[in-house]
A and B are shown apart, each in its own frame.
Chain A
Amino acid sequence: MNLIARTFAFAFCVVIAMTVGKPAAAQGVAFQNPNVPFEYRKATVSKAEPDLKKLEDAQAWLEERQFLQRFAQFISPVKFDKPLLLKTQTCDVVNAYYDYKSTITFCYEILPFFQSAAVKYGKPAATAPGDITTEDILIGGMGFTMLHELGHAVFDLFNVPLFGRNEDGADQVAAYVALQLSPELALKMVKGGAVFLRRAQEDPKAFVDYVDNHGSSSQRFANIFCMAYGFDKAGYAFVAEQGLVPPERLGNCAAEYKQAENAFAKTLLPRLDKTKMAAVRAKTNWFSRDFK
């Protein structure tokens, strides 16, 4: 695969794994990103999470870990023509979104969701390749979410041609970038991204449910794992072994991965600063595992 894409993508996702780590000041000037301002808004009462304390804790948790600063540093290679604002706030829904006005919002309500899902569905440690840990769900899920929203942002800000559905494309950006990481981190991101979507009970049942412009939970889950399997059959053998993607689709997974690789190379790679990419790539201690 393209070395530049791989290099950039590595850096991209390492910053996404932004739960903790060194303060931004210690990261040096190489990752300064004046075109990506950030803002932590004060947590307020939410219709989705009536316990204000949980949201205030989420705000403190994110601020303490410099969640937005780190993401801004991480995407410093991206040559935005105008500022992309990153912000956290209460939204009244469990969500993160890009608003098509150059702002990515990470809602406080989503952090308790991930924390609770991590405890509910994750294992403390993996004992088999396909096991999902609490860390996979928390870091992987949050990271995948931010990459997904970044996908929407770059599609919009760079006028990327979109023959396919925007939402699926944003998932592909997230999965593709995740897969360029070190094998361990890629696995974490992919598992986290896919598993937090695995809510088959949310798949459409009635006719009107099919109207959503997002793929169904099961579709998105299979799309992500199929790309991963197409990228590295051996590393993601559990995808086939556990039947996470239907056998008749497995043969197409390499093509699905190549499709994303081609699209990335043609639409996003030209928008990256290669010197900054190298700087981000050279820094390997973005990531830490301090879960609280």
Chain B
Amino acid sequence: MRRSPCGSIFLAFATLFAGTLPSLAQRSRPLPPRVEIEYVYEKPSDRWLMPIYDRLTDKDVFAQLDKYLSPLRLPRKISLRTKQCGEGRIKQNYKSGADLVLCYEYMARVENLIRESKITSPILREAMGTGTVAHALLRLVALDIFDQLQLPVWGRAEDAADRLASFLMLRLGPPDKAEEWYGGAGVYFAVSGKAERVNFTELTSPDFQRFFNHLCFAKSAGDDKYFELASAWTPVVMKPEETVELRKFFDIGKLPSEQQGPALKSLNLDQGVFASFFFKRIAGYCSKEYGEVERAFRQELLPYIDRSVLTAAQRSKL
């Protein structure tokens, strides 16, 4: 039986934030009480979106997300809604105080692009669907966190939300799933970017640009799972010869640091992808970019996380 790409997200959500281990050191000041997520699955008027609606309600995704976000202490409730956005829209812009909306059309687009992509691996297709939807939900929550806590956000808020969502997924996600989801979402951005009609003046960055931001974090996080998935996205968007070189580049990233320098010399760094800014960013700036978000998280958001409900794995990454 074919599994829905969105299906396993629910199971995985259940493990992401939930935990019952003993608390860490007591906080210096009391946290606000936990506020549960309020959510609504709005029935779509178009029949073609009903299967997505049915899957969401069957699995009660938001109930799982509620557990997932349980360590977070915010001044107001988080209100989530799935709905048919209509008029060809796949997303609704964030609006302070309004519901966080995940459009059925977006989930349909994810599923369509996965179906149309030449990616055949069931594991990867699963990871693309689950990871992309998980990332989209965390991104909505990130925008609400910025607003509720009035955090200082420099840079475009939509990109900042992407970065925080990525960070939360990599650092607080379930150890057995997070890297796979993360890689899957990255592959989706590559696939989507290829199909996208770009307008640079819009609020949200193009998916190819989001892809590179995403890639940057993955490289910095150093996840082996990511390297496995790298071989999946490169053929989607790159020439075969570039794919070969890039694969070598990723493989070098897995070597001990003292071996990386000599190994890099074997690559043709004057051609293709390496002649672009790519190498400089991926090999140089990305760790700084990841470090920026980590520092922002520690400075601004960690005080609003109840460590007593983090799992041991999560605590080890914080």
Q: Do A246 and B201 touch across chains, with their CB atoms under 8 A apart?
A: yes
Q: A-B pairs with CB below 8 Å: how many?
A: 137
Closest to B153 in A: A163
Q: Min CB distance, A227 to chain B, in Å?
A: 11
Q: Do B151 and A163 touch across chains, with their CB atoms under 8 A apart?
A: yes
Which residues of B lie under 8 Å from residue A245 when comparing CB positions?
A: 201
Q: Do A210 and B211 touch across chains, with their CB atoms under 8 A apart?
A: yes
Query: Which residues of A (223-255) have their CB < 8 Å from a CB of B?
Result: 223, 244-246, 248-249, 252, 255
Does any Cβ of B come within 8 Å of A266's Cβ?
Answer: yes
Does any Cβ of A come within 8 Å of B30's Cβ?
Answer: no
Q: Do B154 and A173 touch across chains, with their CB atoms under 8 A apart?
A: yes
Q: Do B154 and A169 touch across chains, with their CB atoms under 8 A apart?
A: yes
Q: Min CB distance, B138 to chain A, in Å?
A: 13
Query: Which residues of A (173-203) have their CB < 8 Å from a CB of B?
Result: 173, 200, 203
Does any Cβ of A come within 8 Å of B199's Cβ?
Answer: yes
Q: Do B289 and A166 touch across chains, with their CB atoms under 8 A apart?
A: yes
What total of chain A residues lie within 8 Å of the partner, measured CB to CB? Answer: 46
Which residues of A lie under 8 Å from residue B278 when comparing CB positions?
A: 208, 211
Query: Which residues of A (247-268) have their CB < 8 Å from a CB of B?
Result: 248-249, 252, 255-256, 259-260, 262-263, 266-267
Which residues of B lie under 8 Å from residue A160 when comparing CB positions?
A: 152, 154
Q: Do B281 and A249 touch across chains, with their CB atoms under 8 A apart?
A: no
Q: Which of A19-27, A29-37, A50-58, A213-221 contacts B (4 or more CB under 8 A)?
A: A213-221
Q: Do A219 and B281 touch across chains, with their CB atoms under 8 A apart?
A: no
Does any Cβ of B come within 8 Å of A165's Cβ?
Answer: yes
Q: Do A164 and B212 touch across chains, with their CB atoms under 8 A apart?
A: no
Q: Do B281 and A267 touch across chains, with their CB atoms under 8 A apart?
A: no
A57 to B237 CA separation, bound complex (whole angstroms) = 46
A262 to B282 CA separation, bound complex (whole angstroms) = 31
Partner among A155, A213, A246, A263 whose Cβ is within 8 Å of the Cβ of B285: A213
List 14 additional A-B contacts (Cβ < 8 Å) besides A164-B153, A219-B205, A249-B201.
Answer: A155-B154, A160-B152, A160-B154, A161-B296, A164-B155, A209-B276, A210-B193, A248-B202, A249-B202, A252-B93, A255-B96, A262-B152, A262-B153, A263-B154
Can you show 30 pairs from A to B with CB atoms below 8 A apart? A155-B154, A159-B295, A159-B299, A160-B154, A161-B152, A161-B295, A161-B300, A162-B292, A163-B154, A163-B163, A164-B155, A164-B156, A164-B163, A165-B156, A165-B159, A165-B289, A172-B154, A173-B154, A204-B206, A207-B237, A208-B277, A210-B193, A212-B281, A213-B285, A215-B205, A245-B201, A249-B201, A252-B93, A252-B203, A263-B154
Instruction: Please list the residues of chain A having a beta carbon within 8 angstroms of any beta carbon in chain B.
Output: 155, 159-169, 172-173, 200, 203-204, 207-213, 215-219, 221-223, 244-246, 248-249, 252, 255-256, 259-260, 262-263, 266-267
Instruction: Please list the residues of chain B having a beta carbon within 8 angstroms of any beta carbon in chain A.
Output: 93, 96, 146, 150-157, 159-160, 163-164, 193-194, 198-203, 205-206, 208-209, 211-213, 216, 237-238, 272-273, 276-278, 281-282, 285, 288-289, 292-293, 295-296, 299-300
